[in-house]
Amino acid sequence: MARKLTFTIPKKKAKFDVAITKVDRSKLYGDTRVEAFDENGEKCELVSIASDGQTLFGRGGIAFATMNQDGNFVEKSTLTPIDDEGEVIEMSESSFSGEIELTETTSVEDYLSHLVKSVYMLENAEDPEALRELLTDGDIYKFNFSYRKGIIVDTAFLLANEAGEPFMILTSPSDIHFLSFNDNTGLDAEEEEGGDDDAFDFGAL
């Protein structure tokens, strides 16, 4: 089921609700599944084996738990996130629980300097043309997005493709540095000619 977001654009005094649908590889390319059957034609299920080499457990048999230094289980809700300097990290509310203000537009270069994590299609049931008109001039809106309440906040971009269909792209900043070949054209001719000064003198033998 598609979830809904509320966008507001202060400059245009506009506000509208949209439904978002995640675009995954199966929607684009389809998917294939491999099923295994035993000699009696019964469908096989994948199971894992525990470290004791004997215990088998199927899907849903693994869970994560948090333990303190004394080895006791603790509730996740009682933990406080801190950064590398020991400062408390403020929790961010889910973007689905309030309105998202679109106040910042950015460039294509800025968008391309981020790594894409997820892609969502946007639909506006009340006014299908609202988002198309918003992005018709190629504007790209940039904002913070948090799928659920917590400390993880993604950088989101609102843009349209060539057909005018609106999309929300969730990203993270890229730490890629572009390199180029060394440029040796600036070497002085004297430096190039002086390269033989340290050559071995066979006449000294």
Q: Residue 191 — very low, low, confident or very high, per pLDDT cuts 50/70/90?
A: low
Cα end-to-end span (Å), the chain: 88
pLDDT in tens, 70-126: 888 888 778 888 888 888 888 889 999 999 999 999 999 999 999 999 999 988 867
Contacts of 67 (CB under 8 A, 6+ apart): 73, 74
Domains of the chain: residue spans and CATH: 3-26+56-173 (2.40.290)
Q: What one-character-per-residue DSSP string does 90-149 give? A: PPBPPGGGSEEE--EEE-HHHHHTEEEEEEEEEE-SS-THHHHHHTTT--EEEEEE-SSS
pLDDT at 187: 52
Q: And the tokens for 31?
A: 């998917």
Give the CA distances from residue 34 to residues 27, 39, 44, 144, 180, in Å, rounded to whole numbers and listed in that order: 18, 16, 11, 39, 45
Q: Collapsing DSSP states into helix, strand and coil, what is residue 196?
A: helix
pLDDT at 82: 84
How far apart are the C-alpha atoms of 136 and 143, rounded to whole Å?
A: 19
> CB of 124 within 8 A of CB of 135?
no
What does the mean pLDDT of the chain come to? 83
Backbone angles phi, psi at 202, to 5 degrees: -70, -20
pLDDT in tens, 5-46: 999 888 877 788 899 999 988 877 888 888 899 999 999 988
Query: Residue length, the chain?
Result: 205
How far apart are the C-alpha atoms of 47 and 77, rounded to whole Å?
A: 31
